[in-house]
A and B are shown apart, each in its own frame.
Chain A
Amino acid sequence: MSAVDVPLVEPGQAEVDGGAQSAPGVGQLRGRGPARSRWWAPYLFLTPYLALFGLFVLAPIALGVWISLHDWDPFLPSSPWVGLDNYADLFRSGSPSRGNFWRALRATALFTALSVPVLVTLPLLLALALDRSFPGRSLFRALFFAPYVLGVAVVALVWRLLLDPHVGVINHLLGKVGLPAGTGWTTAVPWVWVSLVGMTVWWTLGYNTVIYLAGLQNIHREIYDAARIDGATRWQLFRHVTLPGLRPVVMFVVMMTVLGSANMFGQAYLVTGGGPGSETRTVIMYIAEEGFRSFRLGAAAAMSYVHALLLALVNLGMVLLFFGRGGDEEAR
């Protein structure tokens, strides 16, 4: 079972539960329904979770729409209705949020475009290296995964110190090997992007590696053996066995990584502060600033819906891209 289909799959056939009426007796073969199971039992089991889900997931989605239709300042008693103005502002020339929002979206798209290819390929190479069985393999696996458990606050802080243009170790080391030692890793374009992508790769590389490793384990050894008997070279094995076998996993990794990158926030917030200028201000950062620093919660809500919608479209595009072609390879 691959990582992709996990949450969706029912094992085998879903049987219909006997439920309340089935009093188990001798010879009752389908007596799976516990004797004292009542029709409301499943609802009782679901209630605690659904209460949370309703209050903090479903209600916010609906309430968010309501907020986005108002000029909502959380600290003022009244929040006047403005209809679709908050949305229209994102397209109306001359409105302040229009330029900022699209610039932030462009920064987010740039980060995504730069980080996703690295985060899809590099972990694959690492996974291939760690897939061969050797003593200590799980130790290395844990080592490369470790930065991920540190969280963005620690990761951003460490890299901020390392990348400091004046007293950072990175510039010092570069100077030692005769390279320019005054690079503004956290202050100048394009270096800020190199920094943000670099630290994100360092941080999350192990995560994708683990998913790939799980995917590699699911490719049957017999296929490799059969291909080897047929005289396949290493490259051919990779090209014709490993890659097709990993296809659903690669698809999954790409989609999750795009989702993660499109929601990038902490790194830019803590390392570059969105700068220089607003160059690395991502869309999440801008929305949060509008909502919680300028107290324009309505505008922030509207922007978060536009962002979510765009993300859904990108996702849909990827699904079509992945499922739309290569049907013949699926047959294997």
Chain B
Amino acid sequence: MRLPRVQGSCPVRRLQVWRALSYAALILLAVIYLAPVIWMALTSLKSPYEATAMPPTLLPARVTVESYEALARSGSQAPVLRWLLNSVLSAVAHALLVLATAAPAAYALARMEFRGKRLVLAAVLATLFVPPILFLPANYLIVRSLGWLDSLPALVVPPAASAFGVLFLRQFFLGFPRELEEAAALDGATRLQVLWKIVLPLSKPALATLAVLSVLSNWNDFLWPIYVLFNPEKLTLSPGLALLQAAHSTDYALVAAGAVVASVPILAVFIAAQRYVIEGVARTGLKG
């Protein structure tokens, strides 16, 4: 097909070739980048023997789910389904607690004037830069004296004190147009009504973003849970995987299956809420 009035040696075609090549390169790069994850999924479907065979196979010679069955077996050393349940409960409860406590606080810090506001803001902001290890010894003792060791509240409550949620929502509320709130106030609405009926419904994208980031951070937390959980039944997936690896360091298929179980739900959340995760990171550059 001839394209009239195009100078040079058919730049349109050359552009297409160039574009196709760029795509091919990018796809290749992405496949190589994701290869470890793909390989993990394939390994989990091999027999324990095949998983460590040399030379390694790429595709399972015989697809088997025996590693998953071993993980699901009741009374197993690695109750992965139990860990999965604990992880889901912990992450959901944590996200709800973050929303419930951070939203009113953020609203007060964004829209109300009161004594000590600057102090509160400065204190909250400063803690963003404190390394997490600093809290570990004392928080361990605090959680222990609350009787929360080896239980869900230890995973749900202390991490919800993080500064992130409050600062994130406050930033959103600051950019929120005041007119609606003012109109409601003129109609005699209380602050709580304004927050509940006007601000929160219109902040759904921000709330969803914070919820997803909170789920993500709670699901993947590692340093804290390995020191406050002991009983295998009480673990979540992150510390559970560490235990699984320690106990079955040579059964690669089993360990890979554990990793798949830990990854699939959070990858599903990520795929479903991808826009929120990436926007949240892009907007703040901070994790929850």
In this complex, which of B37, B129, B168, B278 has the most chain A Cβ atoms within 10 angstroms of its Cβ? B278
CA separation between A4 and B43, bound complex, in Å? Answer: 41
Digit string of B212-233 for contact with A (CB within 8 Å is 1, else 0)? Answer: 0000100111110001000000
Q: How far is the CB of A198 from chain B (nearest CB, A)?
A: 11
A3 contacts B by Cβ under 8 Å = yes
B157 → chain A closest CB, angstroms: 7
Given contacts A45-B108, A53-B161, A315-B129, contact A162 B139 (CB under 8 A): no
Q: Looking at the complex, which one of B105, B137, B181, B283 makes contact with A6 (CB distance below 8 Å)?
A: B283
Are A63 and B141 in contact, with the CB atoms below 8 A? yes
Indicate if the CB atoms of A167 and B252 lie closer than 8 Å. Answer: yes
Do A8 and B185 contact each other (CB < 8 Å), given the known contacts A56-B142, A311-B131?
A: no
A308 to B135, CA, bound (A): 11
Residues B231-272 near A (CB distance < 8 A): 237-239, 241-242, 245, 252, 255-256, 258-259, 262-263, 266-267, 269-271
Contact A304 B134 (CB under 8 A): yes
Q: Which residues of A contact B138 (CB under 8 A)?
A: 59-61, 63-64, 67, 301
Q: Is the CB of A59 within 8 A of B56?
A: no
Q: Is the CB of A167 within 8 A of B141?
A: no
In this complex, the interface size class of chain A, counting residues with CB under 8 Å from chain B, is 35 or more
> A132 to chain B: closest CB distance in Å?
9
- Check A146/B158 contact, CB under 8 A, given A33-B185, A152-B222: no
Residues of A close to B194: CB separation below 8 A: 34
Which residues of chain B are within 8 angstroms of A253 by Cβ–Cβ distance? 285
User: Counting CB contacts under 8 A, is B17 at the interface?
Assistant: no
Docked-complex contact A64 and B137, CB < 8 angstroms: yes
Is residue A224 within 8 Å, beta carbon to beta carbon, of the partner chain?
A: no
- CB contacts (< 8 Å) of B52 on chain A: these are 167
- Whether, in the assembled complex, B96 has its beta carbon less than 8 Å from a beta carbon of chain A, the answer is no
Q: Is B178's beta carbon under 8 Å from chain A? A: yes
How many Å lie between the Cα of A135 and that of B206 in the bound state? 26
Closest to B22 in A: A134
Nearest chain A CB to B203's CB is how many angstroms away? 15
When distances are taken between beta carbons in the complex, the residues of chain A under 8 Å from B64 are none
Q: Are A49 and B270 in contact (CB under 8 A)?
A: no
Are B123 and A7 in contact, with the CB atoms below 8 A?
A: no
**Chain B hits for A87, CB < 8 A:** none
- Asked whether, in the complex, the Cβ of A46 is within 8 Å of the Cβ of B105, the reply is yes
Question: Which of A39, A136, A162, A315 interacts with B114 by CB under 8 Å?
Answer: A39
Per the bound structure, the CA–CA distance linking A36 and B187 in Å amounts to 11
Looking at the assembled complex, report how far the CB atom of B125 sits from the nearest CB atom of chain A, in whole angstroms.
Answer: 6
Contacts of B186 in A (CB 8 A): 24, 31
Q: Is the CB of A42 within 8 A of B285?
A: no
Given that A142-B278, A150-B263 are contacting pairs, would A37 and B190 also be in contact in the complex, using a CB cutoff of 8 Å? yes
A44 to B190, CA, bound (A): 13
Residues from chain B with a CB closer than 8 A to the CB of A262 are 131
Give which listed residue, B23, B54, B161, B281, contacts A57 with CB less than 8 A.
Answer: B161
Interface residue B189 (Cβ < 8 Å from any Cβ of A): yes
Which residues of chain B are within 8 angstroms of A288 by Cβ–Cβ distance?
133, 136, 223, 227
Q: How far in angstroms is the closest Cβ of chain A from B236?
A: 10
Given known pairs A151-B220, A169-B56, the reply for A45 and B112 (CB within 8 Å) is yes
| A159: Cβ under 8 A from any B Cβ | yes
- Pairwise interchain contact B167-A7, C-beta atoms closer than 8 A: yes
Complex CA–CA separation, A167 to B178 (angstroms) = 62
The residue on B at minimum CB distance from A151 is B220
B133 near A307 (CB under 8 angstroms)?
Answer: yes
Closest to A290 in B: B137
Fill in one digit per residue for B69-111: 1 if any A CB lies within 8 Å of its CB, else 0.
Answer: 0000000000000000000000000000000111011011101
Q: Closest B-chain residue to A53, C-beta based?
A: B161
Contact yes or no, B277 A145, CB < 8 A: yes
What bracket does the count of chain B residues touching chain A fall in?
35 or more
C-alpha gap A61/B135 in the complex (Å): 6
Question: Does A58 have its Cβ within 8 Å of any Cβ on chain B?
Answer: yes
Q: Which A residues are CB-close (under 8 A) to B8? A: none
Tell me the bound Cα distance from A244 to B138 in angstroms. Answer: 43
Question: Does B281 lie within 8 Å of A207, measured CB to CB?
Answer: yes
Least distance between A58 CB and chain B CB atoms (Å): 7
**With contact pairs A46-B105, A146-B270 given, residues A160 and B139 touching in the complex (Cβ less than 8 Å):** no
Given contacts A46-B120, A270-B245, contact A202 B136 (CB under 8 A): no
C-alpha gap A17/B111 in the complex (Å): 8
Q: Mark A27-41, 1 if CB is under 8 A from B, else 0.
A: 000011111110101
The contact of A266 among B129, B133, B222, by CB within 8 Å, is B222
Say yes or no for A140: interface residue by CB 8 A criterion: yes
Interface residues of A, Cβ cutoff 8 Å to B: 3-4, 6-11, 16-17, 19, 24, 31-37, 39, 41-46, 48-50, 52-53, 55-61, 63-64, 67, 72, 74, 129, 134, 136, 138, 140-147, 149-154, 157-162, 166-167, 169, 172, 202, 207, 210-211, 213-214, 252-253, 256, 259, 262-263, 265-266, 269-270, 284, 287-288, 291-292, 297, 300-301, 304-305, 307-308, 311-312, 315
With A7-B171, A60-B135, A270-B242 given, can you name 18 additional A-B contacts, CB distance below 8 Å? A41-B108, A42-B108, A53-B123, A55-B142, A55-B161, A60-B137, A61-B127, A129-B26, A136-B23, A150-B262, A153-B238, A169-B56, A256-B286, A263-B131, A265-B223, A291-B137, A304-B136, A305-B134
Would you mind naming 24 contact pairs between A and B with Cβ atoms under 8 Å apart? A7-B167, A9-B174, A35-B190, A36-B191, A42-B117, A53-B161, A55-B142, A56-B161, A60-B139, A134-B19, A138-B278, A153-B220, A162-B39, A262-B131, A270-B242, A270-B245, A287-B133, A291-B137, A291-B140, A301-B137, A304-B133, A304-B136, A307-B134, A308-B130
